[in-house]
A and B are shown apart, each in its own frame.
Chain A
Amino acid sequence: MTVQEKSPQTTSLRSRINWLDLGLRVGAVIMALLITSLILLVANAQPLKAYWNIVLGAFSSTQKVSAVIASWVPLVLTTSGLLFTFTAGLWNIGMEGQVVVGSVFCVGAFRFLDQTGLDPWIVITIAFLAGALGGFLWAILPGVMRIYGGVNEIFGGLGLNFVAKALAIWLIFGPWKRPGVASMSGTEWIDPQFRLTYLPGTSLSPVIVVIALIGAIFVALMLKGTHFGLRLKAIGKNDRAAHLLGIPTTRYFLLAFGICGIFAGVAGSILVTSKQFSLIPDAGFGYGFLGLLVAMLVNYHPILSSIVAFFFAALSVGNVELQYMGLNSYLAGVLQGFLVLFVVMTNGVRQRLYKKG
């Protein structure tokens, strides 16, 4: 790569920044890979072989590619939802809990409507709406706590994550427990008629892909092309200034949380109807937290976030191959963690360079 360091006067500042930007991001990825490789070497494993196995593990058969897509769907939904709150300058750490409560509401709807004899598709639709409602309500809470209680949404969200998990565990061990059983392994599975149908030979239901695409496109359009998105951005940059300019910031804060929660709830409903078929204590599967990482990694860019979410999904599925090699399953998590760490660090570096430039 040849970057002209001493750019002539004619080169615009913008294109120089883009090259720098790209270089820094690539550098961050390389750094993350290097550190992870070091860890692999310490663990007596060949890094290149491990990485190649991850790639094989994610893409080497139709079944695997479909598994990657199936885990991309909830991740892209949580990431997309988080773009709203991030754009408004809010840290919705409570995303994971919102997915859990979405699952709780979804499973609750199935339990409630199980014996009604309604058409399965009607029941599934209601369950998804219930899930969305659950996520919405759980997301509004940290917003309300911040606006009216002065509680920073990071602490509010963090606390509510614990409460959500406690709620799930209480239901699993209490009112919704299997007859005669007290185990954290989950509630009774929903009736087969309520489970989304897979494509033959895969664990992927096509409906959820459509939902994810609609969600991702909706976010991109909303944030890029509407007044709502612009105002949200203005609040994110400087909420006081935005308020003085006449933007109803309180309402926008709550809207950002609410929309984000709806995405979380839908993700939770997808996990219930196409993966777990029941309520488990960790009903969010970590997709809320992972969504935060993805959104940070791409600097809150909608289209890029879908792509990076795909990459993360591939990592988490391909990771299984490492376990066949006898390596620990946490490795993909280590790589993901370092990636985010270095990208956030290079963001800092970039900002300093900008100031100088």
Chain B
Amino acid sequence: MFSKRVWLVVSMLLILALLLSACAKTGPAAGEKFTFGMLLIGPANDMGWSQAHYDGGLYVQEKLPGTEMIYLENVFQGPGGQVQTGAELATDMATNKGAKLVIFNSDDMKDNAIKFAQEHPDIYVIHASGDTAWKEGKNYIDLPNLKNIMGEMEYGKMIAGCAAALTTQTGKIGFLGPLINEETRRFAASAYLGAKYCWTEYLGKDPADLEFKVTWIGFWFNIPGTTLDPTQVADDFYNTGYDVVISSIDTTEALTEAKKFTADGKQVWAIPYDYAKACEGADDVCLGVEYFNWGPAYLAAIKSIQDGTWKSSFDLNGPDWSDINNPDTSAVGFNKGGALSEENSALIDKFIGELGSGLNLWTGPINLQDGTQYLADGVAATKQEIWYLPQLLEGMEGQSE
């Protein structure tokens, strides 16, 4: 009697499954609609990295009628993450939602992006922040349907570092880092180069008096029980005399903590990251935010798919120096925050102007953290030397790997 009931349930489930798969729609809907999928490593409203991508998708929808974005958030494996991997979710987007392009928005999705691109040669793939499509890079794989896009955030980090150096009263800058890899090392190093330049050139101070400490939490954002808690790390910085924290993680804990400390009567500052409007609501502590503007690059890529000119490429897009905050042309920008003094604001403008007219801080002499020479005097770094920076730089405190 019992097993009969079991079989009844099983057979009903099977029939249901068959029925549903029979009436399933496959492929994209009729019309000229272009669906593109986006896999976000964090939430679409994180005021950081993922929201910047999400807004880039909205920009495409607005500028190119007929395009539609579908997206999934928290694409990682762990508490609060997804049960399915990035490759599985992208497959779902392509097979069941008719997506012709899938954007993988994190360095951590590299393996999944490559796997998906290999298994679906007919679907276009953009991997933001990877180097797979870089012919001159170390990890090149020939995949005609895969493109890498990244903003030249080295400049943004230099500006952030400059703002921090100009503002700090203690001469101690904290760098709240995510995980350690080539990308995060070169960004931390760029922030340091910017800080050192403004500290010495604009303030005329001794570089030996500038402390720059990096603490890594282990991932792009807080995963309780797995990473260090960024709130705690920011607190530790502020409690030990670091009065400016440059955040390089996807979320805005540093800003929240800076507000708390400042409300308690201890003036400190923070610089968030990634998202153009990250300073909103934190005018009293925010020095500014260096951010990505993904919209124009995504728009161009989708247009190239539509008109048949798509090519696999490694696109490293810099700021538009005529106006680094132009939403249609600049891939990297810096929005000043309310806590940046007028005097320092003018110096930041001066610094941006110098960078735009060719100042290259990635010029020797530059030594690595262990003291070995990386760039000889007067030698400018190649793109590869910057991208694949093997260690932090001399003068920086913190783990290199």
Contact = CB atoms under 8 A, between A and B. Distances in A.
B45 to A, nearest CB: 11
B24 A282 contact: no
B9 A183 contact: no
B97 interface: yes
B24 A183 contact: no
B13 A317 contact: no
A288 B10 CA distance: 24
Nearest to B76: A185
Residue among B9, B81, B83, B84 facing the most chain A CB atoms (10 A cut-off): B83
Interface string A265-284: 00000000001111011100
Nearest to A332: B83
Interface string B160-198: 000000000000000000111110000000000000000
Contact of A181 (B16, B81, B180): B180
B83 A184 contact: no
A329 interface: yes
A75 to B, nearest CB: 10
B219 A310 contact: no
Contacts of B180: 180-183
Contact of A55 (B20, B85, B219): B20
Interface footprint category on A: 35 or more
B399 A182 contact: yes
Nearest to B388: A180
A177 B77 CA distance: 17
A182 B16 contact: no
Interface string B195-238: 00000000000000000000010110001011100000000000
A316 interface: yes
Nearest to B83: A316
Interface string B303-340: 00000000000000000000000000000000000000
Contacts of A137: none
A350 interface: no
A307 B83 contact: no
Interface stretch (A63-71, A79-87, A123-131, A255-263): A63-71
Interface stretch (B86-94, B247-255, B269-277): B86-94
Interface in B30-86: 70, 72-74, 76-85
Contacts of A71: 83-84
A338 to B, nearest CB: 19
Given A276-B85, A317-B84, A182 B218 contact: yes
Interface footprint category on B: 35 or more
Given A180-B182, A181-B401, A276-B77, A61 B13 contact: no
A304 B6 contact: yes
A29 B230 CA distance: 40
Nearest to A185: B108
Interface in B264-309: none
Interface string A129-149: 000000000000000000000
Interface string A172-189: 010000001111111001
A244 B329 CA distance: 83
B83 A61 contact: no
A277 B21 contact: no
A59 B182 contact: no
A55 B16 CA distance: 10
B77 A56 contact: no
A303 interface: yes
A311 to B, nearest CB: 8
A203 B219 contact: no
B373 interface: no
Contacts of B91: 63, 203
Contacts of B70: 324
A117 interface: no
A183 B73 contact: no
A60 interface: yes
Contacts of A320: 72, 82, 84, 89, 92
A226 interface: no
A323 interface: yes
A303 B3 CA distance: 9
A173 B227 CA distance: 11
Given A184-B223, A203-B91, A320-B89, A65 B181 contact: no
Given A185-B108, A329-B73, A201 B84 contact: no
Contacts of B85: 275-276
Contact of A185 (B3, B80, B219): B219
Given A60-B21, A180-B390, A329 B82 contact: yes
A180 B399 CA distance: 11
Contacts of B92: 63-64, 67, 320
Nearest to A70: B88
A28 interface: no
A184 B227 contact: yes
Contacts of A55: 16, 20
Contact of A285 (B1, B83, B181): B83
Contacts of A278: 111
A275 B3 CA distance: 33
A280 B180 CA distance: 16
A322 to B, nearest CB: 11
B112 to A, nearest CB: 9
B262 interface: no
Given A180-B182, A184-B223, 19 more contacts: A60-B21, A61-B21, A61-B24, A63-B95, A63-B96, A65-B17, A65-B21, A71-B83, A182-B180, A182-B216, A182-B218, A183-B180, A183-B218, A184-B219, A185-B76, A277-B111, A317-B83, A329-B74, A329-B82
Ranked 6 nearest A-B pairs via Cβ: A183-B179, A182-B180, A59-B20, A185-B108, A60-B24, A282-B78
9 contacts: A181-B181, A184-B78, A185-B76, A277-B111, A282-B81, A303-B3, A303-B6, A316-B83, A319-B83
